[in-house]
Amino acid sequence: MDRPIGVFDSGIGGLTVVKELFRLLPHENIVYFGDTARVPYGVKSKDTIIKFSLENTLFLLQKNVKVIVVACNTSSSLALPVIRQHFKIPIIGVILPGAKEAVYATKNGRVGVIGTRATINSGAYEREIKRLDNKIKVFSQACPMFVPIVEENWVNDEIALHVAHKYLASLKEKDIDTLILGCTHYPLLKSKIQAVLGPGVRLIDSAQQVAQEVRQVLIQEGLLNKNRKKRSTREYFVSDEVAIFANVASRFLGEKLKDVKRAAAYV
């Protein structure tokens, strides 16, 4: 089935998932929506996040997608159950795949989670980790400044390292050996986060696990694209300035984005 996979995020961070989808499912068509006009989601109320997430889902459904990836930890934490109630299409979040990988990875049973305020306040990662293994100790830290740093493309600036030191100092004291990057923007700051925490802490970026889950769902539902002769298509939509997104996204994905369009965040 050559209908596309739909992916949405509050901004550019969801491209970490898209990159893994390219690698694992090279024949699949993809439509990406980044709600750049309303980023960041993590400082907004639950009702607002649910509203935005439903609107993003409706936008992707207009593109005739066959599955939707909620590549935003904040939306996955607070809006995923509501989205699934409203729509019958397979909808995949990012919380459970990341929690599973962290439980598998930790050796000392001490796991850190960083995310937006909304994600951390929701307790979504802690609930999933405890459900999988209630002996694991979970330590959480909101890092609200990380998203604008990524969106402004300041990842290689001294400010990124300074802010990382500020946020991660308390987690370093907790002797964690595993850290969940609980926002799809955060992998772009991986080198700074690793520099602060040291090589002994494993960073969990759930993008790989999410891509694997998408593949499993496509196989189970008989939705894999079997048309291997036609080149896969990649469409990108944003709700704000196209040029800024295209510039940063091209550097991140390692290819020039030819088809970025501005679209309303809602229908």
Give the model confidence (pLDDT) of 53-76 as tens digits. 999 999 999 999 999 999 999 999
- At 180 the pLDDT is 97
| Residue 166 banded pLDDT, cuts 50, 70, 90 | very high
How many CB atoms are closer than 10 A to CB 124?
26
**Which residues are CB-neighbours of 88 under 8 A, at least 6 positions away?**
none
The mean pLDDT value for 190-218 works out to 95
**Which residues are CB-neighbours of 188 under 8 A, at least 6 positions away?**
13, 16, 150, 155, 252
If DSSP codes are grouped into helix, strand and coil, which group holds residue 8? strand
AA letter at 88: K
Check if CATH label 3.40.50.1860 holds for domain 95-206. Answer: yes
The mean pLDDT value for 32-41 works out to 93
- At 214 the pLDDT is 97
72 catalytically annotated: yes
**Cis status, amide bond into 26, omega within 30 of 0:** no
| Residue 134 banded pLDDT, cuts 50, 70, 90 | very high
Sheet with 234-238: strands ordered across: 91-92, 67-70, 5-9, 30-34, 234-238, 260-262
Mean per-residue pLDDT over the chain, rounded = 93
Task: Name residue, tokens 């997430």.
Answer: 53
For the chain, the structural domain boundaries read 5-93+208-262, 95-206
Say whether pLDDT at 264 is over 80: no
- Burial class of 150 by CB neighbour count within 10 A (0 to 12, 13 to 18, 19+): buried
What is the dihedral sign for C-alpha 84, 87, 92, 94? Answer: negative
- At 82 the pLDDT is 96
Q: Do domains 5-93+208-262 and 95-206 have the same CATH topology?
A: yes
| Residue 265 banded pLDDT, cuts 50, 70, 90 | low
- Burial class of 47 by CB neighbour count within 10 A (0 to 12, 13 to 18, 19+): exposed
- At 266 the pLDDT is 57
| Residue 174 banded pLDDT, cuts 50, 70, 90 | very high
Of the candidates 183, 197, 211, 238, the residue annotated as catalytic is 183
Cα 17 to Cα 6: distance, rounded to the nearest angstrom: 11
- At 204 the pLDDT is 96
Say whether pLDDT at 229 is over 70: no
Percentage of the chain beyond pLDDT 70 is: 98
Say whether pLDDT at 267 is over 80: no
Model confidence pTM above 0.85: yes
Identify the residue with better confidence: 164 or 39.
164
The mean pLDDT value for 98-116 works out to 96
Say whether pLDDT at 249 is over 90: no
The mean pLDDT value for 19-45 works out to 94
Q: Which residues pair with 115 in a beta bridge?
A: 142, 182
The mean pLDDT value for 197-216 works out to 94
- At 163 the pLDDT is 97
Of the candidates 72, 80, 83, 129, the residue annotated as catalytic is 72
Lowest mean pLDDT among 154-163, 164-173, 183-192, 258-267: 258-267
- Give 5-93+208-262's CATH code, choosing from 1.10.3210.50, 3.40.190.170, 3.40.50.300, 3.40.50.1860: 3.40.50.1860
